Amino acid sequence: MIALQIENTGSFMSKLLRSECFDLFLLEEAVIRKAATWKIDGHMNRAFLAAQREAEGKPAEADDPDMIPWSEVRPWCFDLIKGKTAPTLMRFTLRLSPEEAEAVFTPENAAAQEDGQAVSFDYLINVTYEKAVLKIVTGIAMNGFSMDLSLRKDADRRWDDFIREMMEANMIRFQELT
């Protein structure tokens, strides 16, 4: 887990809310506090999706994602945030999509086995803006149990490296906090 303080808030927020830079993520939760507080639960409402598909004459899909893609919700968040006065609080919890996680981390995860059971990870970032300071904190969640703590440490290190590289590739300047 690392904590990064973003040096240029405006540039970062533009990349988060108005570009495809973070579209490899799903939204777990968003909180935006202005005159009121808006909370968005990014978990999909499967009953709604099934009814929508039925109304459109489409078959139900068993592999619907558990969370809404960031690309679908970011325009809503942008509409809530835009204006002359910055929110007093913004917090976004984003999870790397399973497809992206598989593409990026599969070779290393293939060895993550414990007594024949696969151990997988969810890769998360928390983006928080409060008191004019913008921070990103990385984290992972282990799905499964393992006595081998090196699996978690290795996944944590790989995720932190991935986020640093992503920030640098997108010209997002940051300071790593200790």
pTM: 0.87
Residue pair 167/5 in contact by the 8 Å Cβ criterion: no
Q: pLDDT (tens digit, 9 = 90+) per residue, 12-41?
A: 999 999 999 999 999 999 999 999 999 999
Count of residues making up the chain: 178
Domain limits for position 86: 3-177
The count of domains in the chain is 1
pLDDT greater than 90 at residue 50: no
Q: Where are the beta strands (DSSP E) in the chain?
A: 3-6, 25-33, 37-41, 68-69, 89-96, 113-114, 117-118, 120-130, 133-143, 174-177
Assign 110 a pLDDT band (cuts: 50, 70, 90): very low
